[in-house]
Amino acid sequence: MESAPTREAPRQRAAIRPQDGWFLVLAFAVIGADQAVKWLIRQTIERGDSLAVVWPLKLVHVTNSGAAFGMFQGAGPLLVMTSILGMIAIVVFLFNPSFAHPLMRLGLALMLGGAVGNLIDRVKDGEVVDFVKVPNFPAFNVADSAITIGVLVLVWAMLREPQPSQPGD
């Protein structure tokens, strides 16, 4: 007796679902907070000056035409292109069913908001405003913090995600 050919289950496609709206809200909140604080820093602290908040934290007004930790200074067009490519990848992953775990999407949303926040500065001014300074560490901003926290959350979620069992296990 011949068995009927079996059909593979249809592959889930990336889609923006209503319940995913809060991830976009979070990304936009990061962008808004980042741009608002950078505007406030530009208005209240002269470039190069600092304001002691509470030891060891200082608010500073410095700019960075490079990437993280001052790498790639002056490589604006390259950084804009890599930011755009990174944001496209994040959006694809954000709405990919393989990354459906809320912690994974939380990390991706934080990374997206941070990437857009810094891209706005880079396109508008050719440099990013950094304003948080702690000893022995480069100055950073809200967008940098969101990206860093997002990466940590994403890695943590991926490490916690149960691996599918393999045949023969």
Residue 129 has pLDDT above 80, yes or no: yes
Which range (9-18, 92-101, 113-122) has the least confidence? 9-18
pLDDT attached to residue 99 = 75
C-beta of residue 47 within 8 angstroms of C-beta of residue 62:
yes
Q: Let me know if 144 is a catalytic residue.
A: yes
Count of other CB atoms within 10 angstroms of residue 138: 14
pLDDT attached to residue 73 = 73
Q: How confident is the model at residue 145 (pLDDT cuts 50, 70, 90)?
A: very high
Q: Is 38 helix (H, G, I), strand (E, B) or coil?
A: helix
- Determine which one of 49, 121, 144, 169 is catalytic: 144
Q: What percent of the chain has pLDDT over 90?
A: 51
User: What is the chain's mean pLDDT, rounded?
Assistant: 85
C-beta of residue 62 within 8 angstroms of C-beta of residue 130:
yes
Give the integer Cα–Cα distance in Å for 89 and 31.
Answer: 18
Residue 68 has pLDDT above 80, yes or no: no
Q: Let me know if 125 is a catalytic residue.
A: no
More confident residue, 114 or 14: 114
pLDDT attached to residue 13 = 59
Average pLDDT of 9-18? 60
- Determine which one of 20, 34, 121, 130 is catalytic: 130
Give the integer Cα–Cα distance in Å for 58 and 55.
Answer: 7
Q: How confident is the model at residue 117 (pLDDT cuts 50, 70, 90)?
A: very high
pLDDT attached to residue 118 = 94
Question: Model-level pTM?
Answer: 0.81
Q: How confident is the model at residue 93 (pLDDT cuts 50, 70, 90)?
A: confident
